[in-house]
Amino acid sequence: MKQPPAMDDALSKSVLSILKYGPLCLLFNGFWLLDNRQFFDNVWIYKNKSTENMMSGHFVGIKINQSSPLLLAGVLCVLVVIVHIIFSVETLKRAGFTMAAEDLDVDEDLPNFFEALTIGEANRNICENE
């Protein structure tokens, strides 16, 4: 009989490597929404001919309005992501850009499951299993 492939965390790591950029995309989407001049400023760009393309008015510029904080936060987040991509984790740890100074030590010498339980609880678990 053929054994199924071993389950590992490759799929989870792959999904998490993609999903970590989701909030950044939502941040720029919010900037695009708040920078809509037709909706918030009542500015219309008319076409002279039906063959011309409609201009949206969504241009990144140096103007202070309700969408400026989102643009600033988005640019700062992109810079952090670029620094994280360029420099290795070890270099960032040595420079002090981590949440913890050192890795956590986890005690793996846990007792056997049935030694950690009282006799009554162990018997109850065995009866439930049967």
Q: Do the beta carbons of residue 114 and residue 122 sit within 8 Å? A: yes
pLDDT at 112 over 80: no
Rounded to an integer, the average pLDDT of 21-31 is: 88
CA dihedral 91, 97, 100, 105 (to 10 degrees): -10
Of 57, 5, 7, the closest CA to residue 32 belongs to 57
Which pLDDT score is estimated for 66?
84
Which pLDDT score is estimated for 76?
92
pLDDT in tens, 33-92: 888 777 777 777 777 888 888 776 666 667 788 888 888 898 998 998 898 889 888 888
Range with the lowest mean pLDDT among 13-22, 98-107, 115-124? 98-107
Kindly state the tokens that stand for 109: 């010498």
Q: Do the beta carbons of residue 70 and residue 103 sit within 8 Å? A: no
How much is the pTM?
Answer: 0.54
Q: Map out the domains of the chain as residue ranges.
A: 10-98
pLDDT at 5 over 60: no
- Report d(CA 92, CA 129) in Å as an integer: 49
Rounded to an integer, the average pLDDT of 10-29 is: 86
pLDDT at 6 over 60: no
* Amino acid at position 99, single letter: M
- Report d(CA 40, CA 23) in Å as an integer: 24
Which pLDDT score is estimated for 118?
80
